[in-house]
Structure 1
Amino acid sequence: MPSNAMNGQKPLGDGINSGAVGQRLGDLFKIDHAPALVTRRLSVAHMAVTEIRSDNPVLGPIEPVPIEDAYLVSLMLKSLDHHEVWESGRPCPRHSISAGEFHLRDLKIEQSALVEQPHHSLQFYLPRAALNEIADENEARPIGELAYQPGVPFSDPIVRSLGLCLRNLFERPQEANRLFLDHVTFALGTHLAQTYGDLEPSSKLLRGGLSGWQERRAREYLSANLCGKGSLKEIAAQCGLSIGHFSRSFKETIGIAPHQWLIQRRIEVAKAFLKVPSTSLAEVALKCGFADQSHFTRVFTRIVGISPGAWRRNCDIRDSVARH
C-alpha cells in the first residue's frame, strides 16, 4: 500500500462542517456525494457522522486517511464478505464484517483499506477534543486510548441501535432535530469511551432535578426554539449547568429527554393552531417547527393517533355539538 505522506490531504476534522466531512470521506471512498451531520453539543469539539454508500466496488485501494488525533467508527449497514485493511502499511488479519458490526480505527496511525464490494456504512468521526470533553462532563480523568484489534470487527448492540437512530436522519435531513442529534452522538461517544476506553464517571457527579427557575427557563427556551435549532449547550448555559448535569436533571425532573419534550411541545402548539380554521396545515407545520406538512402529519399521527386533518374535524364536530 502507498505510504501516507499526507498526500496533500487535510485532516477530516479540519475546519469541520457537514460539507467538509462528507466531501473528504467521499473523496477517500471515491464517491461523489457523502451526506454528513455534525453535532454542536460540545463547546469546542465536534463529532460528525457521514453516510457512505456506493453500489459499485471501489476501484483500487482507498487512499490513506490523513493522520490526526481522532478515531473513526465504521458501522456497517451492508455486510462485507471480503475487504483488506492496513495499519502503518502492514496488512491486518482479514475478517468478514456483518451488517450492524463496526470497525474502530485510530487516525493517529496510518490507515488504508481495499473494499471490492458494494459498500454502505455510517462513519462516526470522534476527535480527541470530544473525548476530553466527555471526560470533563463525567468529572473523570482524561481518557486514554480506545482498545481495538486492527481489522477485527465489534458486535455491539448499543452502537448498532444508536447508529440506526441516526441512519433515519439521512433519509430526511431537513427534518433532523438538532437536540436529538446532539443527544445520540454524545451518548455514542460516552459509550465508546466507557466500553473501549478507560472512562470512569466520578461517583461525585451531581444528582437531583432542576430547580423551579431552571425548569421554567428550560421550558421557555425550548418553546421559543420550536424549530429545534438550539443546542443542549445553549440550554444548559441558560440554566447555569454543565451539559451532562442539565441532561440528567431535566430527565429526572420532567421524565423525558429535552428533544422528546420539544416534540411534545410542538404537538401542543400545533393543536392550538388547528383550532383556528383559517390556518392551513402547511402554515401550522411551519409555525411549529416542522420541516413541511408531510413531516408534521407523520409526527402528529404517530403521537396523537390520528392525522392533523382528522383531529381538526373532530374538534369542529365537538364544537358544533357543544353549541347546540
Structure 2
Amino acid sequence: MSGKLGQRLGRFVGLDQPPTLTTRYLQLAEISGSRHCWDGSEAAAPVRMETSNGYLLCLQRRELPAIPYWVNGKPVSMMPLNRGQFLFLDLNEEHASVTRGTVDCVSMYAPRAAIRQFEHEHDMKSVGELRTANGVAFSDNVIRHLGACLAPAFERPETTSRLFVDYIALALLTHLTTHYAENPAVARPIGGLAPWQERRAKEMLLAHLDGKIGLDELARACRLSRSHFARAFKATTGSSPLQWLLGRRIERAQELLVNSELPIEQIASRCGFTDQSHLTRSFVKAMNVTPSHWRRLRLA
C-alpha cells in the first residue's frame, strides 16, 4: 500500500463493501489520508487488513466500543476509544476486526519510505521504528488537532489548498518522528530567510492566491528543505506561509469590497477562496465582521 490508500482501508472494518460505507480520500504529499463513515451493525465476520510497509493512524471522531480484534491471527484485547483518541498500527502485521455500531474515523497512512525520505531531506539520523501498540487507545492533542483540521477537507478535496495539505503532512511526519520514534528526532535551531528567499517565496505565494502551490515548490525555489523553509519563513515573517497567504487574500478582498461593485461571490473567487461562505468565515475570523457589513461601514 503506497501512495493513495485505495479501497483496502474500507475493508478493515468488518465487511468487504458495507452498504453504508462512505469513504473519501486525500493525498498529502508522501502520506495519504481517508475519512470513513459507516454503520457497522451489519458486520458479522472478521475481515483482514492487507499488510503494508508502513504505519496507520485511525483517529476516532466519535466513540468506538471495544471490538473483537486479532493481530497475526491471535486475539488482542481492544480498548474502547473515546472521541479524539486513535489507534496506531504497524501494517507489517496482519490486523483483523469486526466493527459494530456507527463509526466516523480519519485515517492517515505513513509508509516507511516516507519516513526514510523525511530523514534524508532533513539530514537526520535514523529514527528507527515508530512505537505502535495494538488495541491501545492513544491520546495526543497534536494528532487530534491535525485530524480535526483535515476532516473538512475530505468533503471537497478538489478545492483544498495544496499548501494546507502539505502542512498537515509535514506536521504529522515531524510529530511522529519526534514523539513516537525509537530514536526521536531533535529539531535544530533555524534562522530566517535571506532577503532574496523571502522575496521569491512571497512572489510565488501572491501568484497562487488560491493556495494551489506546494510547500515543496516554495522550498525548492529557496534551495531549502520543506521543514527548513517553513520554519525560516515563520522566523522571518512571524507567520506560516499559509497564514501569510490568508492575510493577503483578506487584504485583496478588502480592496475589491471598497473599490469595486463586484458581488461578494465574485470577490471570493478572485481572492482564492473556494466560495462565498469560505470568504465570509475567514473574513469574520480576521475582522470580526462579515464582508458585506465591512463594505457598508467603509462606504458609509
Matched, 1:268 2:218: no
1:27: Cα distance to partner?
4.3
Specify the code of the residue in structure 1 equivalent to 2:170. Answer: F
> Contact conserved, 2:70 with 2:76, CA < 8 A, in 1?
yes
1:279: Cα distance to partner?
2.0
Q: How does 1:1-324 map to 2 (within 5 A)?
A: 11=1, 13=2, 16-17=3-4, 21=5, 23-29=7-13, 30-31=17-18, 32-40=21-29, 46-171=30-155, 173=157, 176-201=160-185, 205=188, 207-317=190-300
Q: Hey, what's the Cα distance between the residues in 1 that align with 2:184 and 2:287?
A: 41
1:289: Cα distance to partner?
0.7
How many residues in Structure 1 have an aligned counterpart in Structure 2?
Answer: 295
Q: Hey, what's the Cα distance between the residues in 1 that align with 2:8 and 2:255?
A: 45
1:275 is paired with a residue whose SS is: helix
**Structure 2 gap ranges (5+):** none
After TM superposition, the structure 1 stretch with the greater mean CA deviation from structure 2, 188-197 or 232-241, is: 188-197
Q: Hey, what's the Cα distance between the residues in 2 that align with 1:249 and 1:77?
A: 34
CA gap 1:138/1:51 in 2 versus in 1, 3 angstroms: same
1:199: Cα distance to partner?
4.4
**Structure 1 gap ranges (5+):** 1-10, 41-45, 318-324
Q: Hey, what's the Cα distance between the residues in 2 that align with 1:247 and 1:278?
A: 37
CA gap 1:295/1:22 in 2 versus in 1, 3 angstroms: farther
1:185: Cα distance to partner?
2.5
Q: Hey, what's the Cα distance between the residues in 2 that align with 1:27 and 1:167?
A: 20
Report the equivalent of 1:321.
none
Specify the code of the residue in structure 2 equivalent to 1:75. Answer: L
Report the equivalent of 1:43.
none
Q: Hey, what's the Cα distance between the residues in 2 that align with 1:86 and 1:193?
A: 27
- Whichever of the two has the greater Rg, that structure is 1
2:98 is paired with a residue whose SS is: strand
Q: Deviations along 1:90-123, whole A, 9 cap, x unmatched?
A: 1112322221111111111111111122211111
1:270: Cα distance to partner?
1.2
Task: Give the superposed CA RMSD.
Answer: 2.0
Q: Deviations along 1:65-90, whole A, 9 cap, x unmatched?
A: 22221111111111122212211111
1:226: Cα distance to partner?
0.7
1:209: Cα distance to partner?
0.2
Work out the percentage of aligned pairs sharing the same amino acid.
36
Q: Deviations along 1:239-276, whole A, 9 cap, x unmatched?
A: 11111110110000001111111111111111112223
Q: TM-score if structure 1 supplies the norm length?
A: 0.84
1:169: Cα distance to partner?
2.6
Q: Hey, what's the Cα distance between the residues in 2 that align with 1:215 and 1:58?
A: 56
Q: TM-score if structure 2 supplies the norm length?
A: 0.91
1:201: Cα distance to partner?
3.3
Q: Deviations along 1:113-156, whole A, 9 cap, x unmatched?
A: 11122211111111112111222344212232212332122122
